[in-house]
Chains A and B, each alone.
Chain A
């Protein structure tokens, strides 16, 4: 986990996806081949930091590795460039959550291996409205 996290840290820290140089389609997670035009010429592209909630859930039983964080709110957010991104939604009271709520990215701790292990950071979302 420590190395696979390191490999993707720019993806997680900066919401760094990619973009087709031929048709400008943008992706997060990044793709290997453009889904729209088939081009293999893609360059890294930072995603916009704001969007809106398309759907969400309050997960009350978390996976191994996330113990102590429950409940966690998870949403699928459509960013301002149209790209859909999965992420946790934080600092938001459950009754304030609605489909269509505006959100922005924040930099947060995702989880830690243990009190002696590595800490993994990444993007999450927080509600603006």
Chain B
């Protein structure tokens, strides 16, 4: 039943993976990338004696920004694009809440003047954003709500001097999902998640900075979960890599997404448009949703996009997303491209970064 009006051929019942509702679609998206960029050579200058560093700049939030402010900025852009009047749910996926106890989603709701909403914060390291998106999708599909807002946002911080400090970045990506109509931008055709108890990266309660098992980050964590989630999606829905115009993977560094793409049979053309890590670093829960947004900025109707997130702890959500006709009109009206925000940047030195991110103890 749920797959009857699917855009892809019915492949029979499956006992894993998620049957996504086809009456729900992305109606608008908005991203927020803070203005400041810290080049990784600056981190190397301070902590590595100036040795060569990867050519990465990471997006750094200002001292008056946190995930709440960035979530609101991204959400306002998404709402403007979607032209949505009323929301039924708001989920904020993040691991850098300014309040350990008190929802961010209610502050976002207040700022958007949306009160009749199911609101919650989600945490699953870097994949809370794609989870938020799927939950909104499910609520619309079940008929519980007409439209909802999913946000992935983080002000990721690495301990000063830690490897993570080169890339841990700040950004937000927000998606409005609504009942599918002529204005819809894209529909999620299929979804598949894969999780296991794998402790590659964690932050204990009350601790300021996360810890990680550096050698563990790749094989048993990132590659294992992404490969499983994507393969399951392929098996379930009968996809092959060449069906996709674009592939978007979680990008903790410039290398991993390229390698996992090649392992799964994708080529560089499919993955290149979404590779943002060298320009903004790794904004954790916003990461793969930002990759999707930059692809939606240029995709054409009927293009198929693979998005696969990865969250430490660990798990991956693989989504297949079909672009719809509404994308062109909505983009034209929104006049707000991810690449413009990437370019509108100011480079800062380590001292400024330390001030902006509260690393100077006064």
Do chains A and B interact in one complex?
yes
Interface bits B76-108 vs A (CB < 8 Å: 1, else 0): 100000000000000000000011000000010
Q: Given A68-B63, A90-B64, does the pair A107, B99 have CB atoms closer than 8 Å?
A: no
A124 to B110 alpha-carbon distance, docked (Å): 17
Q: Are B98 and A119 in contact (CB under 8 A)?
A: yes
Question: Does A81 count as interface, using CB distance less than 8 angstroms?
Answer: no
Interface residues on B, range: 10 to 19
A68 to B110 alpha-carbon distance, docked (Å): 27
Question: Does A28 count as interface, using CB distance less than 8 angstroms?
Answer: no
Q: Are A109 and B362 in contact (CB under 8 A)?
A: no
Q: Given A106-B73, A119-B98, A121-B69, does the pair A14, B113 have CB atoms closer than 8 Å?
A: yes
A108 to B63 alpha-carbon distance, docked (Å): 9
Shortest CB-to-CB span from A91 to chain B, Å, is 5
Shortest CB-to-CB span from A11 to chain B, Å, is 11
A-B interface contact total, Cβ < 8 Å: 46
Contact of A109 among B66, B73, B110, B113 (CB under 8 A): B66
Question: Does B35 count as interface, using CB distance less than 8 angstroms?
Answer: yes
Neighbouring A residues of B62 by C-beta, 8 Å: 90-91, 108
Shortest CB-to-CB span from A16 to chain B, Å, is 9
Question: Does A110 count as interface, using CB distance less than 8 angstroms?
Answer: yes
Neighbouring A residues of B110 by C-beta, 8 Å: 9-10, 13
Neighbouring A residues of B98 by C-beta, 8 Å: 119
Neighbouring A residues of B113 by C-beta, 8 Å: 10, 14
Neighbouring A residues of B63 by C-beta, 8 Å: 68-69
A37 to B48 alpha-carbon distance, docked (Å): 67
Q: Are B64 and A124 in contact (CB under 8 A)?
A: yes
Interface residues on A, range: 10 to 19
Interface bits A38-77 vs B (CB < 8 Å: 1, else 0): 0000000000000000000000000000011100000000
Q: Are B65 and A108 in contact (CB under 8 A)?
A: yes
Interface bits A82-109 vs B (CB < 8 Å: 1, else 0): 0000001011010000000000001111
Shortest CB-to-CB span from A15 to chain B, Å, is 11
- Which residues from chain B sit less than 8 Å from chain A, CB to CB? 35, 62-66, 68-69, 72-73, 76, 98-99, 107, 110-111, 113, 346, 362
Known A-B contacts: A107-B73, A109-B66. Give 7 more (CB < 8 A): A10-B113, A13-B72, A90-B64, A91-B62, A107-B111, A119-B68, A124-B64
- Which residues from chain A sit less than 8 Å from chain B, CB to CB? 9-10, 13-14, 67-69, 88, 90-91, 93, 106-110, 119, 121, 124
8 CB contacts below 8 A, A to B, read A14-B113, A67-B362, A91-B346, A93-B346, A107-B72, A108-B64, A108-B65, A110-B64
